[in-house]
Structure 1
């Protein structure tokens, strides 16, 4: 298994690129992720550790993330906001965390804890709530929604100070309700809030988290970086993920609507050998061929790449006429947290996009014990 022992400046590119690929269309942009990571190393040295370096009773571990719609144009979150979110959570919980984990992989999401670690000295774990990006908070809850007595604590900070958009929110209660409130805070703040949430133990993460998710992002990113041509870059990624290339073609009939803090849309990939219809809800959710047959379904990895550069392109960055390559890889080859194995967490996708999901993921639902 590929394991990263230390995060350095030299790993920023593979970390961000691999994170973007594992974002599966969401998880934020590589541009913002790279800027955030570079700032973190300017301000200090992030500490990176493996989960087994913490004892099972090794204190409280909190999740750091961003919540919002990548295509929203009025996003406003500054480095001080990331620290403010942690401070508010510390005050609410009454204890400093012993480590951070990121919520998911993505171009921005994978590096989310670097700045916090560089400034506070608190380490980042080689783990995540989920090793691929996902649209809803409950998918990244590591199964906490299944615990009747668990009280969620979530903090959201964003928006320009001195304007009506500014939000500093602390919410407690049911995870679903809290997640919806944080999502609405992102809408109020212009499309994005930085989040600190859901204190848990190391033992809980060991059983329910996506272990080695950060190392996996670096591994995937290095595969892309080491490619010699655009096609080689994509093929190396496909090889590492144990996936396949679906097809190459042009983006047609592209639709994107930012709604309730999400990017919702669909488009057609027009290729010489046939057309494919893709849907996304931040992340890519489905690919159907021109016969109406399902080719691949979330949480299998579905990702788009620029045919001219071989670099990943998120759903919010696509435009009509783009020349892209679409790949997929089975969920079994990803690092998934427990929040991805409950059938009810997928019902909302069917409602939002009016597509079928559950009939295509029967092998996944219940495959991991909570």
Structure 2
């Protein structure tokens, strides 16, 4: 694929495949559908391979930050466009292309609408091929460059309840990411974000080229198999991605806390324990560790075959629990940074670092 004209069929496939690759996070498919269909209505939209882009061209990341389970969370398609406009307030160089920060039911579609409205290329090189909880994890290891000044804009919240806000920040990566997270809290739980202009050549080694195409292909496999039942759809995805179905069973307990702009907690289902920090972080059964972020741990509805995010889980729901090893999916550079993954242990109360490959 050098250039792919996106259609409603691609939206349907990207919804399923993106949500599955979200690993429990990455936003809802309802949000993704709104963004994808708004983009198609706004004008022709092509997904462009990274090798089609001038290596010196400036590329901006489109994202969403917040706690998916927050009851007042609202970031409209208009907010997704507004954050691109706000970058001018930071004297950021005009972007020549846009990328999404990650795969997810909503986040695979980040950047689609502003790309369609502006005519800028939508580049198939997300910051990460799966979803992740913190902005720094999806910033392609830019935090390790002390000379890099992070430029980030945010917009979101419901204007009818007085929650809508806009913001523009410039400064050290960690500080700016924390400010954007607080914007999400003040906006009611969610903001659209544009961030971190870089030259396209940086994406080749630090982003996840081809990950949007992977979402579309995964979703296509699931759609083709759904007529044979929910289990067939799930197995089509795991077979395509090189993973496995770990268990099937009922969600027995779920403990979810929303604080600081994140969801975190513990789920028990089918004899397994799953912890999450927006996304699933660990998977254990009988005291044995089976999977650890950035491995792709995911739940899928056993009746419909639709992926289920952590924000959508409910006690009594029957699910498949699946596991895709991290080396089977394209990952951004942030997924191997010790300093970014170490905080997971404190949030979920489980060992993480001993189980993963770090740089």
TM-score band by shorter chain is over 0.9
Does the CA contact (< 8 Å) of 1:101 and 1:125 recur in 2?
Answer: yes
Whole-Å separation in 2 of the counterparts to 1:4 and 1:122: 13
TM-score (norm: length of structure 2):
0.96
Q: Please report the RMSD computed on the Cα atoms of aligned residues, expressed in angstroms.
A: 1.4
Q: Which residue number in structure 1 is paired with residue 235 of structure 2?
A: 235
SS at match of 1:133: coil
Instruction: Provide Cα deviations, 1:213-265, integer angstroms capped at 9, x if missing partner.
Output: 10010111111111022111111101111001100000012111111111111
Q: How many residues align?
A: 357
Runs of 4+ in structure 1 off by over 6 angstroms are none
1:304 aligns with 2:299: yes
Structure 1: where are the runs of 5+ without partners?
none
Whole-Å separation in 2 of the counterparts to 1:107 and 1:81: 18
Q: Which residue number in structure 1 is paired with residue 311 of structure 2?
A: 316
Q: Which residue number in structure 2 is paired with residue 197 of structure 1?
A: 195
1:281 aligns with 2:277: yes
Q: Which residue number in structure 2 is paired with residue 177 of structure 1?
A: 175
Whole-Å separation in 2 of the counterparts to 1:165 and 1:76: 9
Structure 2: where are the runs of 5+ without partners?
none
SS at match of 2:305: coil
Q: Which residue number in structure 2 is paired with residue 69 of structure 1?
A: 67
Whole-Å separation in 2 of the counterparts to 1:162 and 1:110: 28
Does the CA contact (< 8 Å) of 1:266 and 1:277 recur in 2?
Answer: yes
1:331 aligns with 2:326: yes
Q: Which residue number in structure 1 is paired with residue 10 of structure 2?
A: 11
Whole-Å separation in 1 of the counterparts to 2:78 and 2:236: 38
SS at match of 2:257: strand
Does the CA contact (< 8 Å) of 2:243 and 2:325 recur in 1?
Answer: yes
Q: Which moved more, 1:307-316 or 1:161-170?
A: 161-170
Does the CA contact (< 8 Å) of 1:90 and 1:97 recur in 2?
Answer: no
Written as runs of structure 1 = structure 2, the 5 A alignment for 1:23-38 is: 23-38=22-37
Instruction: Provide Cα deviations, 1:79-115, integer angstroms capped at 9, x if missing partner.
Output: 2222221111134234321000000000000011111
Whole-Å separation in 2 of the counterparts to 1:189 and 1:44: 29
Question: Structure 1 residues 86 and 140 mapped into 2: Cα distance closer, same or farther (>3 Å)?
Answer: same
SS at match of 1:211: coil
Does the CA contact (< 8 Å) of 2:250 and 2:317 recur in 1?
Answer: yes
Written as runs of structure 1 = structure 2, the 5 A alignment for 1:125-274 is: 125-161=123-159, 164-227=162-225, 228-270=228-270
Does the CA contact (< 8 Å) of 1:4 and 1:215 recur in 2?
Answer: no
1:80 aligns with 2:73: no
TM-score (norm: length of structure 1):
0.94
SS at match of 2:4: coil
SS at match of 2:63: strand
SS at match of 1:127: coil
- Among candidates 329, 335, 344, match of residue 340 of structure 1: 335
- Among candidates 338, 352, 355, match of residue 357 of structure 1: 352
